[in-house]
Amino acid sequence: MKAIDFTTEELCHDPRLRIALVTETWPPEVNGVAMTLKRMVDGLIKRGHSVQLVRPKQTPGDVALRGGALEEVLSRGLKLPRYDGLKLGLPAKSRLVRTWTRQRPDLVHVATEGPLGWTAVSAAAKLRLPVTSDFHTNFDHYSAHYGVGWLRQPVAAYLRRFHNRTAATFVPTGELAHALAGQGYERVEVISRGVDTTLYSPARRSDELRAQWGVAPGGLAVVSVGRLAPEKNLGLTLRAFAAIRQQRPDARMVVVGDGPMREALARECPQAVLAGMRHGEDLAAHYASADLFLFPSLTETFGNVTLEGMASGLCTVAYDYAAAAEVIHDLHNGAVLRCGDEDGFIERAVQLACADELRTEIGREARRSAEGIDWERVNDHFAEALVRVWRGGVGARDGKTVLRTQEAES
């Protein structure tokens, strides 16, 4: 990326930064982190910033983008165990130091906390570059679901140290910011998420798709969207659906997504439609063509699917957690239950499955709520936060963060 000289006027108003963004996941990989980062990178470029994307190679033939507002630096990676389609970026400190010495970015933003991300923070520290980070995934919470619960505390300690080496850690909800602050995280700031209300819309509802699912006219389509993995609490989804079927024999379970639990889910619920991974307008049609969305996960940092379902006009049943805690008001634009209240979750799912008029009105309110959750405002906030850190002259070094905070300046 070409060097930029800032005039006094630009420094006071709208500087155009060179931002190195480091991530271990990126489209076409399908997950909430990759989707969110793509939206935010697009937003930075739209606002006049240039982005150098540092990520692992996804395929042997992967070729880095060159030129333009988005350039890429491809690193080595290893397949992530039990998570098909994702790579773990390998350490790359020396290469990043050389790269950023030749073309010095104004700021480094590290979006994922793997070995690539850790060494990116270290490289930024060596070069005294401002560095910020994202907290996208509760990796420490995942350990119990994969039979390594003893790793939860070490992983939590690693994540805390990782983020406290940076000038700011961005999280998607106030609830998560409060929780992390209580665990010793420093300089946590909330930057929420948005939803594409043009893509995700009730207008994409398809009677033809419902017929393919085996849903009769007037029948009930119950949908689950997300990775088919232990941390998503799919067992509760199946129990809730079984209870719904006792009251609504015409109900059909539609599962959108893929993952290591696919075969087990097919055995436990053989009547379910396993739609697999869906993308773009096809995914949007699957949301909009359903009637009730069950999402009992307790490991999300946000849960983009919550907003996607709401934008699609779906009535969502979720725990009072992550995105649902921020945007859903019980029995107004969705349903939220106290975290861990499995009986309550099942009861509310059955209630809404049997109350067609109430469920439909909740879906309308969900759509109206989603229309006010705009990616443009989110991206404005993100860009402003990066500029603020850059202006603060923040640097980091191993084991200690050197920071001039806004509070200290005021």
123 & 50 share domain: yes
Q: How far does CA 140 lie from the centroid of its chain? A: 16
For residue 381, is it within any domain? yes
pLDDT at 299: 82
Asked whether the predicted pLDDT for residue 8 surpasses 60, the reply is no
* Least confidently predicted of 174-188, 238-252, 355-369: 174-188
For residue 302, is it within any domain? yes
Q: How far does CA 79 lie from the centroid of its chain? A: 20
* Sign of the torsion angle spanned by Cα atoms 27, 33, 35, 41: negative
Asked whether the predicted pLDDT for residue 141 surpasses 80, the reply is no
164 & 313 share domain: no
Q: Which amino acid does the sequence have at 44?
A: L
Q: How many other CB atoms are found less than 10 A from the CB of residue 251? A: 21
For residue 388, is it within any domain? yes
332 & 383 share domain: no
**94: Cβ–Cβ under 8 A, 6 or more apart, which residues?**
none
361 & 383 share domain: no
CA dist., res. 316 & res. 314, Å (int): 6
Q: Which of 73-82, 83-92, 291-300, 357-366 has the highest mean pLDDT?
A: 357-366
The string of pLDDT tens digits covering residues 245-255 is 999 999 999 99
348 & 379 share domain: no
**36: Cβ–Cβ under 8 A, 6 or more apart, which residues?**
136, 193, 302, 304
343 & 287 share domain: yes
For residue 301, is it within any domain? yes
- Determine the average pLDDT of the residues in 11-18: 76
For residue 363, is it within any domain? yes
* CATH code of residue 303: 3.40.50.2000
- Determine the average pLDDT of the residues in 343-366: 98
354 & 319 share domain: yes
For residue 130, is it within any domain? yes
380 & 362 share domain: no
264 & 379 share domain: no
246 & 328 share domain: yes
- Quote the domain boundaries for residue 398: 8-194+375-409
What six digits make up the tokens of 104? Answer: 């010095």
Q: Distance between the two ends of the chain, CA-based, in angstroms?
A: 34
Asked whether the predicted pLDDT for residue 300 surpasses 80, the reply is yes
Per-chain mean pLDDT for the chain: 88
For residue 1, is it within any domain? no
For residue 187, is it within any domain? yes
- Number of domains, the chain: 2
20 & 144 share domain: yes
- Determine the average pLDDT of the residues in 246-267: 95
157 & 246 share domain: no
pLDDT at 77: 84
Prediction pTM value = 0.83
Chain position carrying tokens 């209870």 = 243
